[in-house]
Amino acid sequence: MKFFLDTGNVEEIKRVKRLGLVDGVTTNPSLIAKEKRPFKEIIQEICKEISGPVSAEVVGVRAADMVREAHELARWADNVVIKLPMTEDGLEATYKLSQEGIKTNVTLIFTVAQGLMAAKAGATYISPFVGRLDDTGIEGLKLIRDLRTVLDHYNFPAEIITASVRNILHVQDAALAGAHIATIPGSLFPSLWKHPLTDIGIEKFLKDWTQVPGGLSLDG
Ligand code: E4P
């Protein structure tokens, strides 16, 4: 399973990249706005840090505007992926860009039908939002399981990016459901490797080790 970082913060990317855990990055207009820096500068810095796909989202509403923006974003770096909203215009733009060989990520997917439409229009990635679905009382992870089944039925090449990830269960269950990717906020990453029993275990081992005469000699 691939892990993307869901952030516009370059320092956060550098921190997690050090652990070999970042295969790509997703951004959205809200994440970019938090950084208070120009969009182009942020995306180009991220693309220098990460050689994998980096999603940059269009803000146009009409298909022609989305395509125009996409052409500009695609010039910023070779690994930019164009993120488009799941609307009729978004589908039209996705189809056009896929015909041109430009990679796309269709975002804000909340139903199997939407995911199917995006895959059919030629999306490289589809992004179902599990956390925001959970917020409405609908199990977000079920959408991941169902989408994986549908993509496999018809051999669509689109990859599922599990998005709006809020907790460890979202990541674990997305992996069990066969999601190709989970995009994870930087703040959530430590909870994926930390466990209180691990910490208690280390503490006990280190305490017991003080009873070993001579400890560990690294001098041979
Ligand atoms: C995905 O690409 C989005 O950027 C993101 O996962 C949205 O997450 P949120 O629902 O926590 O804002």
Find the length of the chain: 220
ipTM of the complex: 0.97
Quote the tokens at residue 125. 């990635």
Q: Indicate whether residue 39 lines ligand 1 (CB < 6 A).
A: no
Which of 15, 83, 95 is closest to 43 using CA atoms?
83
What is the DSSP code (8-state) at residue 176? H
Q: Classify residue 21: in a domain, yes or no.
A: yes
Structure pTM? 0.95
Q: What is the CATH number of the domain that holds 161?
A: 3.20.20.70
Q: Indicate whether residue 6 lines ligand 1 (CB < 6 A).
A: yes
Specify burial of residue 133 (Cβ count, 10 A radius: 0-12, 13-18, 19+): buried
**Ligand 1, closest atom to CA 31?**
4
Three-state DSSP class for residue 140: helix
Q: Classify residue 205: in a domain, yes or no.
A: no
The number of distinct structural domains making up the chain is: 1
Q: Classify residue 185: in a domain, yes or no.
A: yes
Q: Classify residue 219: in a domain, yes or no.
A: no
Catalytic residue at 120?
no
Q: Classify residue 201: in a domain, yes or no.
A: no
Each residue's pLDDT tens digit, 167-176: 999 999 999 9
Each residue's pLDDT tens digit, 145-199: 999 999 999 999 999 999 999 999 999 999 999 999 999 999 999 999 999 999 9
Q: Determine the structural domain holding residue 149 and report its residue range.
A: 2-194
Identify the active-site residue in 83, 96, 120, 142.
Answer: 83
pLDDT band, residue 55 (cuts 50/70/90)? very high
Q: Classify residue 209: in a domain, yes or no.
A: no
Angle at 50 between CA 166 and CA 121, to 5 degrees: 70
Q: Which residues contact 61 (CB under 8 A, 6 or more apart)?
A: 87, 89
Q: Classify residue 204: in a domain, yes or no.
A: no
Q: Indicate whether residue 167 lines ligand 1 (CB < 6 A).
A: no
Pocket test for ligand 1, best of 2, 3, 6 (most atoms within 8 A of CB): 6
Q: Classify residue 140: in a domain, yes or no.
A: yes
Q: What is the number of other CB atoms lying within 10 angstroms of the CB of residue 24?
A: 22
